[in-house]
Amino acid sequence: GLLCELEPSFGEFGVYDLVITDTGAGDVLCSLTTIKEPVNIYLPLLICILGLIFLWVVCSASSYFWSKLKNQCLDASSPGNTQPAPGSPDDKDIARPPQRQRLKSLDTFRGISIVLMIFVNDGAGGYWFLEHVTWNGLQVADLLFPWFMWIMGVCVPISIKSQLKKNVPRLKILTGVIRRACILFLLGLIINSLGGTTLETMRIFGVLQRFGVVYFVIATLSICFTSQTYGIPKGPVVAACQDIIVLIPQWLIIILIIGAHYAIVFHLEVPGCPMGYLGPGGIQDNGDFRRCVGGATGYVDRMILGVNHMYQNPTENEVYKSGAFEPEGIVGCLLSVFQVFLGVQAGTTLTFYQEWKDRLKHWLAWGTASGIIGAILCLASKEEGWIPVNKNLWSLSFVLVTSSFAFFLLSACYFLIDVKFWWSGKPFFYPGMNATIMFVGHEVAYNLFPWHWSVGAMNTHFMQLIEALWGTGLWILVAIWLYHIKFFLSL
Amino acid sequence: GLLCELEPSFGEFGVYDLVITDTGAGDVLCSLTTIKEPVNIYLPLLICILGLIFLWVVCSASSYFWSKLKNQCLDASSPGNTQPAPGSPDDKDIARPPQRQRLKSLDTFRGISIVLMIFVNDGAGGYWFLEHVTWNGLQVADLLFPWFMWIMGVCVPISIKSQLKKNVPRLKILTGVIRRACILFLLGLIINSLGGTTLETMRIFGVLQRFGVVYFVIATLSICFTSQTYGIPKGPVVAACQDIIVLIPQWLIIILIIGAHYAIVFHLEVPGCPMGYLGPGGIQDNGDFRRCVGGATGYVDRMILGVNHMYQNPTENEVYKSGAFEPEGIVGCLLSVFQVFLGVQAGTTLTFYQEWKDRLKHWLAWGTASGIIGAILCLASKEEGWIPVNKNLWSLSFVLVTSSFAFFLLSACYFLIDVKFWWSGKPFFYPGMNATIMFVGHEVAYNLFPWHWSVGAMNTHFMQLIEALWGTGLWILVAIWLYHIKFFLSL
């Protein structure tokens, strides 16, 4: 029978003593005493954050004084050579027309995604709230991959449009797209083989494979539907929405894709599982749906890829023991296309409006709209909504909520970096310019010195956090060095 | 007691039946019958070699006809644009003065070393005679690392002399040397961490670390002792030996280093081991010298590095169970310096003589001399000589014998490629031009798809050979691609 009923809050490294006294008459008295106070797990995080802020201040200040000193020396030696400092009002519109300049905010956004992704993959100091959520829900780590995809979308219309402007034939652009998609897929296979190269059990999909597939779809759509010239919009409403109007044919196809996803997830019959099941299966619900992990999403992968070629250690396996599941599988690709397409929408805004206010207005509107629709779909709840936010299933609400954050983050970066020049985008800017190298590099070097090391048990948050920050910091240094030697991997 | 005494020659995958019949009177009759004939293990090797020859012929023929076809088209379109084909007698001495041209034979030599090294590290099809020898002796695999070091030496005087010619200050050359040595050492540490990144048990030395250390020593010597200008030699004897005469100061230092090595190996007292012990220890000699693996060579590493920071799986461990031994350790560095210096001698010949006959004469003389001295030192025997040929100990006879082969191989390459133009050096030429990438790449990708894969048990020589050739071939393709995009890693 039940001996004690306690709801204690145990802490890490705390030592507790549970004393059970028989008071006679079958009754027991339970008392819990703390022998050793648990450690404060947030203290290492606080120390490291303060340390990083200190480092940032020191670096910024020294770089500021260094450039000031250099300018003074230049002033003294050749007074005609000076240029107005960035941010001074007279050069913003004349010397650097915003449409000619490479937007630093895009690279910074990509850099933030990849740096946080490296930090999370390095263990994130062992803090649960920085890691991936088990099934439904959204934690810091879950934002990064969708952001990374979204920002890829932003760059597609810019790149296609600039190539069309240079009169590159569409077939040639397509060849480049196919080449890039194949390389991404191959790089993904290389990374998958880090877990072993037995072909019978090799995982086929993964992060870079999804990038490859979705990039191919989205770039092909852009190549097909982007016009080299657009008429001058008639009327203020059309003028305010021309970035949406030009995308209408693509939006129709995207809506078809969302419909196909809906049909598969909610209307495909999966043997032994309820229609439209979205749970993690395994021991959840008393094990009623043991073999149903991911419902139709998982079923399609099991049928087409085979269990052996799927991911063997998905986030939910540890908790629900539901076995293999492919978080970057086939069905999830469909709404990933939508995710990237929301990025394409943001990028199209960039190509149609040169005024920063227009751009921000559109982005903030999109961010608000997608956020609201996403919140409605999941009823602003972790488990109770119609379509819960779920990274493993790449659900519609997940796409909308993460894209909403992306619209807002890009707006913030753009405003701070490219409009007001309050921030240079450092240090994220550098890794953002070599994101493929950063991603492949940190995956291949997942256990390599000097990025990774262990001393002793490594069982405290402090040591794990130091190790993760060290590894992430080294990759940032590699990115700065690559920038310095002007090496940018272009696939 | 002894039941049967048979000396059968068992073969792979053969099935045998041993029948022991008691003939009475305590006597037994043993009979061995073959139930299933063993497979011929040399057949896969033969098939693969024939396949490679076929591939070579096809590639050479198609490239020959392709260039002929292209030349004809060029002839037809612009008759003034044709150039004499390489190898035709009139352009050899006029159009391409040999001293201006990058010698393809050096890259080819380096390429042969790295390609064979990759093949051996990929398992070499599981053939014992292609792998490393257990302790004393010399097999194919043992030649590659010393060749690689030797050819590094050949390039040092060429590089230093060309920098001095451009009036680069010696201190600046030295800075570059130190930077390169440090990068090599760091790359070596990265490769060592492929086995785990626990700092308490991290291996410190390795192939690239030895390259770094020895390169630093040899290049520093060259910087110190290379003159920018040399007087015109007086007399035919001096003229015939000027490449040796200018190296006399360096030779003196090298002889001191050889002496130091001799003193350590033969006169350092190692507790519990006989003076000058050169064996593998462990269970050899009835286990009398169990903890003596490598004699003084091993002892110095155990004292300075500590057993935990040495190589844990040396070749002799499997047979003699003698535990950790560092094949790229501290004492071995001394004679590695000599190995590289013999390369420096070959390179100095290149910088002093422009006539191919002079160069070949010198190289063949050095090859013969070092071969004879090496053979005397080991008495042309595996185990019985004064100083047996031993890669783990990097013994003097090992240095001399492998360098002798190197002198002859370079002579052959030079004659075929740069003198007679009978061979272009393909395909080895390409990996030779990016040897660092090849080495680091194949180490990091030691178990990565698409270079490596397994299907089924992989327990036949044929499958293992196919896998090794596939991996090696892919690296050659990578090298060709890098050459194509003009990417050459210069440290």
Residue of A nearest to B450 (CA): A190
Are B29 and B148 found together in one domain?
A: no
Test mutation, B179, B197, B198, B481, chain A, max A CBs within 10 A: B197
pLDDT at B77: 65
pLDDT at A1: 57
Residue B84 forms part of a structural domain: no
Residue B224, pLDDT above cutoff 80 = yes
Residue A428 forms part of a structural domain: no
Are B34 and B156 found together in one domain?
A: no
pLDDT at A474: 96
If one compares A85 and B342, the residue with the highest pLDDT of the two is: B342
Chain A contact residues (CB < 8 Å to B): 186, 189-190, 192-194, 196-200, 202, 444-445, 447-450, 452-456
CB-closest option in A190, A197, A447 to B197: A447
Residue B155, pLDDT above cutoff 80 = yes
Q: What is the pLDDT of residues B437-461, one digit of tens each?
A: 999 999 999 989 999 999 988 888 8
Average pLDDT, chain B: 88
Residue B126, pLDDT above cutoff 80 = yes
Query: What confidence category does residue B332 fall into, taking pLDDT thresholds of 50, 70 and 90?
Result: very high
Tell me the backbone φ, ψ of residue B193, rounded to 5 degrees.
Answer: -75, -5
Are B28 and B146 found together in one domain?
A: no
Residue A132 a catalytic site member? yes
What is the mean pLDDT of the segment spanning A450-472? 91
Q: Name chain B contacts of A456, Cβ cutoff 8 Å.
A: 200
Are A292 and A169 found together in one domain?
A: yes
Residue B147, pLDDT above cutoff 90 = yes
Residue of A nearest to B453 (CA): A197
pLDDT at A282: 85
| Number of domains within chain B | 2
The reply to whether residue A197 touches residue B453, judged by beta carbons under 8 angstroms, is yes
Q: Name chain A contacts of B474, Cβ cutoff 8 Å.
A: none
Are A194 and A304 found together in one domain?
A: yes
Q: B257: number of CA atoms within 13 Å, CB side?
A: 24
**Which of A353, A385, A418 is at the close of a domain?**
A418
Q: What is the pLDDT of residues A165-208, one digit of tens each?
A: 999 999 999 999 999 999 999 999 999 998 778 899 999 999 99
- Per-residue DSSP letter, B232: P
CB-closest option in B200, B202, B454 to A449: B202
**Which of A362, A390, A418 is at the close of a domain?**
A418
**Which of A372, A397, A418 is at the close of a domain?**
A418
Residue A11 forms part of a structural domain: yes
Are B144 and B16 found together in one domain?
A: no
What is the mean pLDDT of the segment spanning A228-237? 74
Q: Looking at mean pLDDT, say which of A332-346, A443-457, B97-111 comes out highest.
A: A332-346
Residue A3, pLDDT above cutoff 90 = no
Residue B67 forms part of a structural domain: no
Chain B contact residues (CB < 8 Å to A): 186, 189-190, 192-194, 196-200, 202, 444-445, 447-450, 452-456
pLDDT at B89: 44
Residues in chain B: 491
Query: What confidence category does residue A421 fall into, taking pLDDT thresholds of 50, 70 and 90?
Result: very high
Cα–Cα dist A466/A315, whole Å = 24
pLDDT at B100: 53
Domain span at A165:
135-418
What is the mean pLDDT of the segment spanning B135-162? 94
Reported ipTM: the value is 0.83
Q: What is the pLDDT of residues B19-37, one digit of tens each?
A: 888 777 777 788 888 888 8
Q: What is the pLDDT of residues A43-93, one digit of tens each?
A: 888 888 999 999 989 988 898 898 888 888 877 765 544 444 444 444 444
The reply to whether residue A189 touches residue B449, judged by beta carbons under 8 angstroms, is yes
What is the mean pLDDT of the segment spanning A10-37? 82
Q: Poorest-confidence range of A2-6, A295-299, A404-408? A: A2-6
Average pLDDT, chain A: 88
Alpha-helical regions (H) of B78-139: 104-121
In A414-483, beta strands by DSSP E: none
CB-closest option in B190, B197, B447 to A454: B197
Structure tokens at B362: 């010198």
Are A292 and A399 found together in one domain?
A: yes
Residue B159, pLDDT above cutoff 90 = yes
The sign of the torsion formed by the CA atoms of A442, A445, A447, A449 equals negative
pLDDT at A64: 85
Nearest to A328 by CA among A412, A420, A211: A211
Are B33 and B139 found together in one domain?
A: no
What is the mean pLDDT of the segment spanning A358-369? 96
pLDDT at A211: 96
pLDDT at B112: 96
Residue B375 forms part of a structural domain: yes
Q: Name chain A contacts of B199, Cβ cutoff 8 Å.
A: 453-455
pLDDT at A100: 53
Q: How far is the alpha carbon of A438 from chain B, nearest alpha carbon, in Å?
A: 16
Cis peptide before B388 (omega within 30 of 0): no
CB-closest option in B197, B198, B448 to A197: B448
Q: Poorest-confidence range of A23-32, A333-342, B214-223? A: A23-32
Residue B233, pLDDT above cutoff 80 = no
Query: What confidence category does residue B383 fall into, taking pLDDT thresholds of 50, 70 and 90?
Result: confident
The single residue listed with the structure tokens 């560092």 is: B326
Q: Looking at mean pLDDT, say which of A89-98, B280-289, B378-387, B430-439 comes out highest.
A: B430-439
pLDDT at A417: 95
Residue by residue, DSSP assigns A67-129 as: HHHHHHHHHHH-GGG--PPTT-TTTTTTTS-TTTSPPHHHHHHHHHHHHHHHHHHTTGGG-GG
Residue A96, pLDDT above cutoff 50 = no
One-letter amino acid identity for B258? Answer: I
Residue B206 forms part of a structural domain: yes
What is the mean pLDDT of the segment spanning A235-260? 90
Q: What is the pTM of this model?
A: 0.87
Residue A94 forms part of a structural domain: no
Plot region of B464 (φ>0 → left; ψ -120 to 50 → alpha; else → beta): alpha
pLDDT at A97: 44
Are A27 and A169 found together in one domain?
A: no
The reply to whether residue A197 touches residue B444, judged by beta carbons under 8 angstroms, is no
Q: How far is the alpha carbon of A322 from chain B, nearest alpha carbon, in Å?
A: 27
Distance from CA of residue B287 to its chain's centroid? 32
The reply to whether residue B198 touches residue A455, judged by beta carbons under 8 angstroms, is yes
Q: B23: number of CA atoms within 13 Å, CB side?
A: 6
Q: Poorest-confidence range of A256-265, A450-459, A470-479? A: A450-459
Are A371 and A226 found together in one domain?
A: yes
Residue A490 forms part of a structural domain: no
CB-closest option in B199, B200, B448 to A190: B448
Three-state DSSP string of B412-478: HHHHHHHHCCCCCCCCCHHHHHCHHHHHHHHHHCCCCCCCCCECCCCCCHHHHHHHHHHHHHHHHHH
Residue A302, pLDDT above cutoff 60 = yes
Cα–Cα dist B60/B55, whole Å = 8
